[in-house]
Structure 1
Amino acid sequence: MQEPTQQRLDTGWEFYRGPLDPRFQVWHSEELVAWEPVTLPHCFNHYDACDPDVPAYRGVGWYRIKLGVGNPYPQGRTLLHCEGAGQSSEIYIGTQQVGRHVGGYSEFTVDITDACRGMKEIPLAILCDNGRDIDRMPSDLSDFTLYGGLYRHVHVIYVPAVSLDAVHTDVAFELGNSAMVSVSASLYAPGIQAGPLQLEISIYDSQSRRIAHQAVEKNVWQGETQLAQFELPSPELWSPRSPGLYLCDVQLRSANGISSSSHRFGIRHTRWEDYGPFYLNGERLELRGTQRHEDHARYAAAMPDDLIRQEMQLMKDMGANFVRLAHYQQSRLVLDLCDELGIFVWEELPWCRSGVGSELFQERGREQFRTMIDQHRNHPSVLMWGLGNEDDWPGELNGEDHQAIRRYMTELRDLAHKLDPSRMTSFRRCDFARDIPDVYSPSIWAGWYSGSYTEYRAALEKARPTVPHLFHAEWGADSHAGRHAEDPDPALGRVLTGKGTGEKGFDYKLTGGAVRVAKDGEWSESYACDLFDWYLKTLEELPWITGSAQWIFKDFTTPLRTDNPIPRVNQKGLLTRDMTPKEGYYVFQSYWAEKPMVRIYGHNWPVRWGSAGQQRRVRVYSNCRNVELFLNGISRGTKKRDSQDFPAAGLRWDIPFREGPNELHAVAHGVSGTLTDTVSFVYETRKWGPPVKLTLILKDHRDNMTATVEAAMVDAAGVRCLDSRAVVRFSSAGDATLIDNLGTPTGSRVVQMYNGRAEISLQYQQAVFVSVTSPGVETAFLKIPSK
């Protein structure tokens, strides 16, 4: 099947961060500025998004490239297609502005045909601007970085004078009946008023067999019109377990040439029972989900395709069948992968943490919503159109005008129903408007922003009768990867219970307000795992629940959380920002994954501590029937898994370790054989005193002149202070570069210690010095010799 002639523009670009006058300076600036060669996708906040010392850059950045354009179609059109650029864009051919787009997350196309006419080499420049704009969604008070740059793919596309624009499939299906598939399309034909068009519409099944075909002759039309309708008896149904996909292919022939368009679609049946569960294809399905920001270490929003594929596969391997795409339209690849993997999607308009603002703000929101629905409604994975998030936020423009917010939310809901009657709308946290969306999520953060995680079931039961269709989006806990606890978090004894479990106002801050684990707790992986464990066992007990989505799959940057253990990083992810799974990932796997797994808690816990002979807890997470644990080669017994036996579903042992090195070995017995997992660690019985100084050691020294150093906080006797959460700063002197600003515990030059240690890597050419400092203690220095 023929595809439109196109070229993806990944290489050959130059970038400059800062203002230039497009009337002259963009193409005559060599004496003014230095342009940097870059490859797309590119985000100009890839390094500074989580810089501990200065906020991320908000402003303009220029991209330029010279193209050789050769349209093969007589009288054809040449289009520039951007899959996403943050946050506002202007497109220039030479000094002529040929297009403008507002909104950082939707795809857009600019016709550059006339501006290129007569040129042999096309000077293309694109201005991206992520500067503050009160009239643009999302709000500048959003709890995530509003990235700038050409952070998704850019294409040049050649089409005939008359070509297909948008093509949509609409599916009508009731259980036990045939599926009716309607195919509609719109044209792109500037200046063309008439002319016969021959269209071939074909449907292919998941095995690439053509199962339906229709030839149609039409004249040039305006708007979107139906081309064909097909009846598919005994259709293959799409589901998370079996995500079968059909292909719709449309070919248009005219005197101007051939244009074609193809997309995949699915057939499924959904039903939301009032005050009860969700049904897919006639059977109850618990939506087991997480949430995603488009963000990654080293790349920020410009994630390479292979990393996106890895991330979505990790999500599927965890057992998730649902993802909320927070808080904006995400790349087409993400939606394609959700279709392929069988992951339902809540995709959301970026009306986030704001009031209704100005009329311009509202109209831009409407346009972004129309575009998102138009561009993504063919995807069978899309289950709900999110109208927004947390629009009860204090301090925003018109943020306290409840009636205005209700009016706008109602307008958006009705717009979604008009554009796509087949799907529900949804909203999270805006209680005074909870009756407006079809599906609503209240704020329930039991055990983190307020209350105890043991109050989770009561909070859900209380919320159940308030709306017909309840879904719990956003719950979880921050965890500083590598930080673990031997004993329960001391903050638990001071948290008030029975006073609510929601997040209110500025509860995310680390100062002020009542005692809460989010502010006063240790942020250990141990506590996060217990909270996840309790929530997941609770959800298993509730046959009426539609589902929930943990916040969030992977750590991401935010300008609001400067004092976090990793500055400017939200650390509620099940993965660190470089996609390394934390221990919590395996808790979810033990409940949700179908593939057998076993994981001893604490793979990144090198030193455990306690008194000699003291009983210490070992947790094993597994979805197998039973697990046998060995300590230093000696069996400590077999435990049977019971999801309601908290913690670790009964797979826990309280046993004494020997001083010094220890090894734990787990053997899990499942229906298809055995699995094993092993962890080694040192058990420290010495008591430590007040921290006195830091030490530095060379942990790893690689041939490519890359080294890793580890800092430790010790007392006067040199015993590591394993409870230290001191903030440390790494520096280097000489021909060296710290590998920092990654937003990870091991890739940040300013970071809180995890159990009295912290590490960072650096690249260097000659012998260099590394130092680590922390207020009130002696600084440590280390010389790294050349190799």
Structure 2
Amino acid sequence: MRALLMALMAVLTFVAPAAVARQTSSLNAGWVFKREDVAAAARPDFDDKTWLKVTLPHTFNAGDGADGGTYYRGAGWYRKALDLKALAARDRLYLQFDGAALVTEVFVNGARIGRHDGGYSTFRFDITSAVKAGQNLIAVRVDNAAWPHIAPLGGDFTIFGGLYRGVSLIQTSDAGFDLLDHGSPGVAVTATLNARREAQLNIVTSLRNSRKGTANLIVRTRVFSEGREVLALSKGARLRAGQTLQLTQAGIIVRPRLWNGRIDPHLYNIVTEVSEDRGLLDRVVIPFGVRTVEFDANRGLLLNGQPYAVHGVNLHASRSGVGAAMTNTDISEDFDMLDELGVTGVRLVHYPHAQRAYEEADRRGILILTEVPVNSVVADTQSFRTNAAQQVRELIRQNINHPSVIAWGLGNEVYATEPHVANILMELNNVAIEEDDTRPTIYAHCCQADNDPKAMQSQLIGFNRYFGWYADEFAKMGTWADGFHKVFPEKPFAVTEYGAGGSAGHQQEPAGRTDPPSGWHP
């Protein structure tokens, strides 16, 4: 008995650390900042005592970018001291940036770690080889200048520069989830309903082995509904040194409770653990929902097979006084106001938003359109096409688990009509379908013929049509919509923008039709 007790104690002592296989720490506090390009700012011994002390999220355009006019577009530097304990032999350390615009270069202890091109998605860097026990120095150069290969190249919104979303430090094992997979959470769940109305789950886990030798991993997946386990799966994977792998599992939930919009936004939790013989390596918990969404050219949008009325607003991610540096509390307050409006759908414009926005939509049952910032202008270059495709992949891999997301947006109001525009949108459409064939694509079109080639590349069309504002009368919108449906009876479409400008500071009696270019919008 004593021998058995000692053996059990040994097992418990060994397994206990597995419960904290991943440690995530916020790095939002304790930064200093300078809004200019400082040549030596990456050096650990650089004197930054006169720099501005800031807490993230932070943008260097909170003031000059608020009115839509001219604002600073260029480089800014952030620096932060970080005290670290010595890493265990099999630990890896990652920096996660939830959003920084537009080009971000990261240095640790003077060593250049990497660069990310794009302003609105999560990205990570492995900094393991650059850190040491004791004091470390993180330096980040962020540049929101116009870059010819990075969308957006145009648009009527401010490109808020800086570390305008949070930064965190992730410590985990050297084998487990692939934290360098386009900022994804490491697990992607898609659900469909079969003929028996069972939920068929396809679960893809992204794995990475950063070791110098082979890793024999076990991926255990469990699905919970309100604390009750409804599915359990397990599968092994053997990864060579330095290998990445996407491991697929499939399972069925009998009699699933559907995510049903505002009526019942039920969420499941999927718990995925990566382990080996010696114990747990990493663990993630991700909410997801089971639902079907169909876009029928005759019946409209069908949620779980039933017509579902969609009405709502377009939402930018910025606020007076802070610009794009919104906290999670700010975002939740925005969704409280959307609740008061009674929306059933929201279009997140014109770029990927912070994860809190999608999480709020999931739990409140609000349908979401979300899009990449291919806006107004595109460049007919390979570098632009490559970066736009990267931004599509980031959008989808980071948000595929959100049941609120009903379509992937490829862009908004590209004005040029040359053939390369339609070709670029076609390429992005193909990337989106390759990433996720369970949701359609949509492009928000304006300013040319309804059937312009660029409008026909996505699976759905979103029309930005301001009847009664720029031209025509509002009452003609229905006639126009009926006319398009008659000519293209199989093409689903939506009105993604409409309405008129208005200012609480402009008053006029009696009211009359507004002239948009006048700047007087009562």
TM-score (norm. length: structure 2): 0.88
Superposed displacement of residue 96, structure 1: 1.2
Q: Does 1:161 align with 2:174?
A: yes
Q: State how 1:491-640 maps to structure 2 within 5 Å.
A: 492=513, 517-520=515-518, 522-524=520-522
Superposed displacement of residue 228, structure 1: 2.8
Question: What code does the residue aligned with 1:229 have?
Answer: A
Q: Contact between 1:75 and 1:256, CA under 8 Å: does it hold in 2?
A: no
Q: Does 1:47 align with 2:67?
A: no
Of 393, 416, 420, 1:404 maps to 420
Q: Does 1:455 align with 2:470?
A: no
Superposed displacement of residue 214, structure 1: 2.5
Deviates more, 1:419-428 or 1:350-359: 350-359
Q: Contact between 1:84 and 1:153, CA under 8 Å: does it hold in 2?
A: yes
Superposed displacement of residue 422, structure 1: 0.2
Question: What code does the residue aligned with 1:410 have?
Answer: M
Q: Contact between 1:20 and 1:26, CA under 8 Å: does it hold in 2?
A: no
Question: Structure 1 pair 521/152, CA: closer, same or farther in 2 (3 Å)?
Answer: closer
Question: What code does the residue aligned with 2:147 have?
Answer: D
Question: Structure 1 pair 249/257, CA: closer, same or farther in 2 (3 Å)?
Answer: closer
Of 277, 281, 287, 2:304 maps to 281
Q: State how 1:583-732 maps to structure 2 within 5 Å.
A: none
Question: What code does the residue aligned with 1:113 have?
Answer: T
Of 267, 285, 296, 1:245 maps to 267
Report the Cα distance in structure 2 between the residues aligned to 1:94 and 1:305, rounded to whole angstroms.
30
Superposed displacement of residue 136, structure 1: 1.2
Q: Contact between 1:275 and 1:470, CA under 8 Å: does it hold in 2?
A: no
Superposed displacement of residue 182, structure 1: 2.1
Question: Structure 1 pair 454/215, CA: closer, same or farther in 2 (3 Å)?
Answer: closer
Aligned residue for 2:13?
none
Superposed displacement of residue 176, structure 1: 4.8
Superposed displacement of residue 437, structure 1: 1.0
Report the Cα distance in structure 2 between the residues aligned to 1:109 and 1:148, rounded to whole angstroms.
18
Superposed displacement of residue 335, structure 1: 0.8
Report the Cα distance in structure 1 between the residues aligned to 2:99 and 2:161, rounded to whole angstroms.
10
Superposed displacement of residue 133, structure 1: 1.4
CA offsets per residue over residues 362-400 of structure 1, 9 Å max, x none? 110011111111111111111010111111x2xxxxx34
Q: Does 1:57 align with 2:72?
A: yes
RMSD: 2.1
Q: Per the alignment, in what secondary structure is the counterpart of residue 338 of structure 2?
A: helix
Question: What code does the residue aligned with 1:474 have?
Answer: E
Question: Structure 1 pair 520/22, CA: closer, same or farther in 2 (3 Å)?
Answer: closer
Report the Cα distance in structure 1 between the residues aligned to 2:315 and 2:195, rounded to whole angstroms.
32
Aligned residue for 1:272?
295
Aligned residue for 2:394?
371
Of 199, 206, 228, 1:179 maps to 199
Aligned residue for 1:311?
334
Q: Per the alignment, in what secondary structure is the counterpart of residue 112 of structure 2?
A: strand
Q: Per the alignment, in what secondary structure is the counterpart of residue 479 of structure 2?
A: helix
Report the Cα distance in structure 2 between the residues aligned to 1:455 and 1:170, rounded to whole angstroms.
40
Of 29, 34, 37, 1:16 maps to 34
Deviates more, 1:95-104 or 1:218-227: 218-227
Aligned residue for 2:222?
202
Report the Cα distance in structure 2 between the residues aligned to 1:390 and 1:3, rounded to whole angstroms.
46
Q: Contact between 1:160 and 1:256, CA under 8 Å: does it hold in 2?
A: no
Q: Per the alignment, in what secondary structure is the counterpart of residue 297 of structure 2?
A: coil
Report the Cα distance in structure 1 between the residues aligned to 2:456 and 2:333, rounded to whole angstroms.
38
Aligned residue for 2:142?
128
Identical aligned residues as a percent = 26
Aligned residue for 2:8?
none
Question: What code does the residue aligned with 1:211 have?
Answer: V
Report the Cα distance in structure 1 between the residues aligned to 2:516 and 2:485, rounded to whole angstroms.
25
Report the Cα distance in structure 1 between the residues aligned to 2:166 and 2:518, rounded to whole angstroms.
43
Question: What code does the residue aligned with 2:205 have?
Answer: A
Q: Contact between 1:352 and 1:388, CA under 8 Å: does it hold in 2?
A: yes
Q: Does 1:36 align with 2:52?
A: yes
Superposed displacement of residue 21, structure 1: 1.5
Q: Contact between 1:87 and 1:104, CA under 8 Å: does it hold in 2?
A: yes
Q: Per the alignment, in what secondary structure is the counterpart of residue 329 of structure 2?
A: helix
Q: State how 1:291-302 maps to structure 2 within 5 Å.
A: 291-302=314-325
Superposed displacement of residue 75, structure 1: 2.1
Aligned residue for 2:5?
none
Superposed displacement of residue 456, structure 1: 2.3
Larger radius of gyration: 1
Stretches of structure 1 that go unaligned for 5 or more consecutive residues are 394-398, 493-515, 525-787
Report the Cα distance in structure 2 between the residues aligned to 1:477 and 1:71, rounded to whole angstroms.
59
Question: What code does the residue aligned with 1:38 have?
Answer: V
CA offsets per residue over residues 103-129 of structure 1, 9 Å max, x none? 00011000110011x341110011110
Aligned residue for 2:163?
150
The number of aligned residues is 486
Stretches of structure 2 that go unaligned for 5 or more consecutive residues are 1-18, 179-185
Report the Cα distance in structure 1 between the residues aligned to 2:482 and 2:31, rounded to whole angstroms.
55
CA offsets per residue over residues 417-436 of structure 1, 9 Å max, x none? 11101000001115412222
Greater RCO structure (CA 8 Å; 6+ sep): 2
Question: Structure 1 pair 24/262, CA: closer, same or farther in 2 (3 Å)?
Answer: closer
Question: Structure 1 pair 70/6, CA: closer, same or farther in 2 (3 Å)?
Answer: farther
Q: Contact between 2:148 and 2:379, CA under 8 Å: does it hold in 1?
A: no
Q: State how 1:439-454 maps to structure 2 within 5 Å.
A: 439-454=460-475
Q: Contact between 1:175 and 1:281, CA under 8 Å: does it hold in 2?
A: no
Q: Contact between 2:190 and 2:202, CA under 8 Å: does it hold in 1?
A: yes
